Amino acid sequence: MTGEEIVRHAHQFALELPFTEQTWPFGPEHDVYLVGGKIFMIASAMSGKTSINLKAKPDNVLLHQEIYKSIGPGYHMNKKHWITVYGGDDISPDLVEALVEDSWHCVVDKLPKRDQKRLRPE
């Protein structure tokens, strides 16, 4: 997938997740996706490369970077908790969806229990 395809697919999938909001607090060139008022994805064109930043569990951050050459440390983010997904042949739509969903859950998991129950009713 190209960077543009990744951003487009991630955008569509993220907005299907419950209680997702799209905002532009850093300007129109950075699409920011929130759940419970917290960022779980940023889509932008940085240094001429279109990509998405996603939250990830610390153990998975390094694992994703080992497995996929198109995934790097979070650009301008905490490298322990964020990854950046760039365009590449090793990135599939299913992988993008899994990474976006994992990011959404990482954020919801850190919210107060009452918010978790509201955002993720079971």
Structural domains of the chain, with CATH: 3-109 (3.90.1150.30)
Selection from 101, 47, 97 nearest residue 76 by Cα: 47
How far is residue 81 from each of residues 3, 18, 40, 61, measured CA to CA in Å?
A: 21, 22, 11, 7
Q: Could you read off the pLDDT tens digit of each residue along the chain, which spans 122 residues?
A: 999 999 999 999 999 999 999 999 998 889 999 999 999 999 998 667 899 999 999 999 999 999 999 999 888 888 889 999 999 999 999 999 999 999 999 999 999 998 998 888 66
The partner residues of 45 in beta bridges, in order of sequence, read 50
Q: How far apart are CA 122 and CA 120, in angstroms?
A: 6
Structure-token match 């009713």, residue found: 121
Q: How far apart are CA 23 and CA 27, in angstroms?
A: 9
* pTM passes above 0.85: yes
Q: How far apart are CA 90 and CA 67, in angstroms?
A: 9
pLDDT score at 121: 67
> 47: Cβ–Cβ under 8 A, 6 or more apart, which residues?
none
Q: How far apart are CA 60 and CA 50, in angstroms?
A: 22
